[in-house]
Structure formats: C-alpha cells, structure tokens
Amino acid sequence: MEQITIIGSGSMARALAVRMLAGRHSVQILGRNGEKTRELVESLGAGAQGGGEGAAIEGGIVFLAVPYEEGKNTVIFYGEALAGRVVVDISNAVDLATFDQLRIPAGTSAAEEIAKHASKDALVVKAFNTCFAGPLAAGQVAGVPLDVFIAGDSQDAKTKVSAVVAASGLRPIDAGPLRRARDLEAMMLLVMGLQVNPNHNNFNWDTSLKLLP
Ligand SMILES: NC(=O)c1ccc[n+]([C@@H]2O[C@H](COP(=O)([O-])OP(=O)(O)OC[C@H]3O[C@@H](n4cnc5c(N)ncnc54)[C@H](OP(=O)(O)O)[C@@H]3O)[C@@H](O)[C@H]2O)c1
C-alpha cells in the first residue's frame, strides 16, 4: 500500500482520491480551503485524511491537483521536502478564454517547467492530464477502463505511478521521457477545444483518451 498526497481539493483531487482509495492506498489531501478540504475528506471516508496548505507531506507520491502556476509555486514552496518523492503534474495549462493555445511556451511543457522549479531530487512525472474528472472518478469511459499516459525521466517513478494506476483499476501506459509531456499536453488542447465546440455537444467533458483495442 502506498501513501499518496494530493495537493488541492477540487474536482481532480476528488477523482484521484476516489481511484487511489479504490486501489487501497491511503490518501492525504492538502487544500488551501479548510472547510472544502474537510468536506472532501469526510465524503471520501476511511483511508483519507486532510491537512492545510503547507502541511508536512506524507506521501511518497504527490499529485499536484491545482492549476499549473500553482503547481509550480507548490514545488518551489516545498523545496527539498519533495526530494526522493514522485511528483505528478496533471495540469492542462490551456488558455480557457479561447481554448486555442497553451499557456506554455513552445519547446517545453508544464511538466518540464515544474521539474525545473522542483528539487533536483524530486521525480517529476506527467500523468492523468488526459483523464477528465468525471470518467476518472468512475474509472471507466464507454464501459472500458481509462488509459493513463505516464511520461517521466525516472523509470522507478513511472513504475511506482503505474502500480498505483493499475491497482486503481486503470491501464497505465508508459509514454516515454518527460519531454513527451509536450505531446500529452498538446493532445488535451485539442480534446478540450472539442469539448467546448458546439458542433460536438455530446462530449460534455465525459470523454477520455483511450487506445483501442
Ligand atoms: N477537471 C478536469 O477534468 C481535469 C482533467 C485533467 C487535468 N486537470 C488539471 O487538474 C488540475 C486541477 O483541476 P481541477 O479541475 O481539479 O480544478 P478545481 O476543481 O478548480 O480545483 C483546483 C484546486 O486548486 C486550488 N487552487 C486553485 N487556484 C489556486 C491558487 N491560485 N492557489 C492555490 N490553490 C489554488 C483550488 O482551491 P480552492 O478550492 O480554494 O479554490 C482547488 O483546490 C488543473 O491543473 C487542471 O488543468 C483537470
């Protein structure tokens, strides 16, 4: 059983926690809003505990379930406290005003930028950005387990994330080195644009990227 820390108390924090608890891992939720964090922890039940923003991190795997900029600030804030831990960037830094561009310069990715600001001994991985919160909480899309694409430069870190993904009923897919995060993030620019496109009014954020068969 792995101890998991989730920074944030929003939709993705909830969905990740549901899946991690389904995989029999224990979950620490660290949110900036005490009441919201408490409500989330209570609704998750056994195996979940909460704490405030800046509390000591207990998990060997730490999910940044906050907007990209805040994820960057979080790794700066925690500094060496993240050394030796797996830090999972799940962000899609899409310009939500236009859904037409990423808020990341060309030639890099949110995950690589987070890695640059993190402790050099933090093991930064990109994962879960291709899973929307609804299907992630359900664990399935169109009746089949979600795929979770995992990019990172540490094989150990990817193996750890793959293990918790598999235990939570999803299919882990090693997508290669951390620079593949550029592709995972670009794919979601396209997918998120399609969710808000009125020509595809049946998508409604209930989709997920899945390789078949
Ligand atoms: N929603 C999805 O389906 C989905 C799918 C894939 C990836 N993602 C990524 O997952 C991450 C979280 O998204 P979400 O949908 O869970 O968002 P959300 O429901 O809005 O939750 C965001 C969390 O981050 C906190 N937060 C927001 N702005 C902050 C700031 N400036 N400083 C500190 N904390 C801040 C919020 O705190 P408060 O509650 O106090 O505001 C909340 O706990 C984002 O990077 C997003 O791109 C989302």
210 pLDDT band, cuts 50/70/90, is very high
Of 202, 144, 152, the residue nearest 177 (C-alpha): 152
Return the pLDDT at 1: 85
pTM: 0.98
Q: What's the token pair of residue 164?
A: 């918790």
Domains of the chain, earliest start first = 3-195 (3.40.50.720)
25 pLDDT band, cuts 50/70/90, is very high
Does the beta carbon of 110 lie inside 6 Å of ligand 1? no
On average, the pLDDT of the chain sits at: 97
Return the pLDDT at 133: 98
Does the beta carbon of 11 lie inside 6 Å of ligand 1? yes
Q: Which long-range contacts (CB under 8 A, 24 or more apart) does 100-106 make?
A: 100/193, 101/189, 102/185, 102/186, 102/189, 103/68, 104/68, 104/185
Closest-lying ligand 1 atom to the alpha carbon of residue 67: 45
For ligand 1, atom 24, the nearest C-alpha belongs to 66
The best mutation among 11, 75, 146, 147 to test binding of ligand 1, ranked by most ligand atoms within 8 Å of the C-beta, falls on 11
- Per-position b or e across 182-197, b if 16+ CB within 10 A of its CB: bebbeebbebbeebee
